[in-house]
Amino acid sequence: MASTTCTRFTDEYQLYEELGKGAFSVVRRCLKISTGQEYAAKIINTKKLSARDHQKLEREARICRLLKHPNIVRLHDSISEEGVHYLVFDFCIYFLTVLAELFNLSSLASLLYLSHSHCIQQILESVNHCHLNGIVHRDLKPENLLLASKLKGAAVKLADFGLAIEVQGDQQAWFGFAGTPGYLSPEVLRKEPYGKPVDMWACGVILYILLVGYPPFWDEDQHRLYQQIKAGAYDFPSPEWDTVTPEAKDLINKMLTINPAKRITAAEALKHPWICQRSTVASMMHRQETVECLKKFNARRKLKVRNTESCKCTFMSTCRAVTSRLPPTQRNAWCPLTLQLTTTFSDTLYLVILFYLSFSPYAPLYQEPQTTVIHNPTDGNKSFVQFFTVFFPPSLPLCALARKQEIIKVTELLIEAINNGDFEAYTKICDPGLTSFEPEALGNLVEGTDFHRFYFENSLSKGHKPIHTILLNPHVHLIGEDAACIAYIRLTQYMDVNNMPHTMQSEETRVWHRRDGKWQNIHFHRSGSPTVPTK
């Protein structure tokens, strides 16, 4: 059983490459020195954690110790040291690793017919185990589903219990607004008491995506997206749904039931004919038919990629943007929905390919200071753009997409540091010789970060009320390999001392320079409202 120990992590484990990163943590591959066993270590910087964050960490570790199931990533060790805490998990194959090797295969077999039912069954098994143990995951989405290995028949494993909560039986209560927008349930959006049914709603979204490659609810405007979800406004349009069995549609309908009291449970879903009788009920879908359906879907709904760096639309829009840059002979091999897989890989690999490229539009939401990119949202741990970077060498134009997304992401991190009043994090992202024009400087050119320190130590105090920043339509201009400029409109929402909401707007331009592989802000120009709420 995993337990918190007082030994030094480095005495027992050897750390290797980084696998992912969050706001206060990083995940790295590691080996246990005594056995040579491979694991994934989640390394949390506890110095930056608030008392509430410490409680969340303890809860995550407690939940992970409790859950032992073949379809759930297992916690093997928990080690606490001064300023840092290590959680040692199963080492699972991330999407990028599997797919990078897949595309290096020299010979490719004919298209496979894959069992979507079996993939969903594994997800439901993990969710059912959570619910039987009084755990609600709250953030079910493709990014939190990993492969146990690259072998045929590898299990899908549920990961990341950072937002999970503990409930008693069928308890319904308001546990806060948390999750990922496209997968949020109506009751969460209405801020009503909720419980285990929120996970089943997310399973319905996942199943819908798996079957046709696009989400049941979608709108670039988050408010309209939420209205769709609350109304349960989805359908099964022809022709892409014509080849999907009535039983599969019935299961989706039962999962996407607006009333949580009437929504199907995980245990009930596992007994559904489409799951338990898949050899006779769940038909295998030919992916080429799915491709044709998606082309028609995109044409009908007029969903376009606005520009190369905005590949957040539908699955097929992304495929077209990618494959248009490849020689004709390579296009079928590169387009994820027309991949010709060998039998070396499990059917779950297709699940991951389809999941990852179909719908990863937003990062998780928390009721804490946060930064949301409306035009080009990215995920902090497993970026949509990082996925493409694996396959396209620097000589190809799509690599510019990755660098543009890096600039958007580092700009998000900088503004997050401002919202959090974290001067240390701010100075790590900024060049020591940072220059700036901003309203607070009354038209003077400011050099260095000492001028900004005053605002961090006073106006941006640790006890400030929640601040939410939105970046509208960020535009990135690349200046060679190691320099870039980003321009955007910044909206800042905050509560004043009388608990009245306010919104400020400013127009910003930031110049970034990369030194030793790290982007640093060297200059910015801001007009409009001051950054810091003054009242």
Q: Residue 381: exposed, middle, or buried by beta-carbon count in 10 A (0-12, 13-18, 19+)? A: buried
Quick check: 407 and 519 in contact, CB under 8 A? yes
Q: Does the annotation list 32 as a binding residue?
A: no
For Cα atoms 263, 269, 275, give the angle at the middle one, nearest 5 degrees: 145
Q: What whole-number distance in Å separates Cα of residue 210 and Cα of residue 122?
A: 13
CA 233 → CA 17, 293, 310, 314, 429, distances in Å?
43, 20, 25, 18, 42
Edge to edge, the sheet with strand 501-515 lists: 370-373, 467-478, 483-495, 501-515, 518-528, 430-437, 446-447
Q: What phi and psi, each to the nearest 5 degrees, are found at residue 172?
A: -120, 125
CA 113 → CA 238, 315, 339, 353, distances in Å?
21, 19, 12, 14
Q: What whole-number distance in Å separates Cα of residue 391 and Cα of residue 96?
A: 9
| Alpha-helix residue ranges (DSSP H) falling in 335-422 | 347-358, 384-391, 399-420
Q: What phi and psi, each to the nearest 5 degrees, are found at residue 57?
A: -60, -45
Quick check: 96 and 22 in contact, CB under 8 A? no
- Which helix H or strand E contains 205, and what residues bound it? helix 197-212
Coil/strand/helix, residue 477: strand
| Alpha-helix residue ranges (DSSP H) falling in 221-359 | 222-231, 246-255, 266-270, 273-276, 287-301, 315-323, 328-334, 347-358
Tally Cβ neighbours within 10 Å of residue 455.
16
Edge to edge, the sheet with strand 4-5 lists: 4-5, 75-81, 84-90, 38-45, 25-32, 13-21
Q: What whole-number distance in Å separates Cα of residue 260 and Cα of residue 197?
A: 6
Q: Let me know how long the chain is.
A: 535
CA 394, 399, 403, 406 dihedral sign is: negative
Q: What whole-number distance in Å separates Cα of residue 9 and Cα of residue 42?
A: 12
Q: What whole-number distance in Å separates Cα of residue 468 and Cα of residue 371?
A: 6
Q: What whole-number distance in Å separates Cα of residue 324 and Cα of residue 332?
A: 11
- Which helix H or strand E contains 209, and what residues bound it? helix 197-212
Positions annotated as catalytic residues are 139
CA 165, 176, 123, 389 dihedral sign is: negative
Coil/strand/helix, residue 39: strand
Torsion angle of the four alpha carbons 60, 61, 67, 69, in this order, in degrees rounded to the nearest 10: 100
Which residues define the annotated binding site?
Answer: 42
Which residues define the annotated binding site for ATP?
Answer: 42
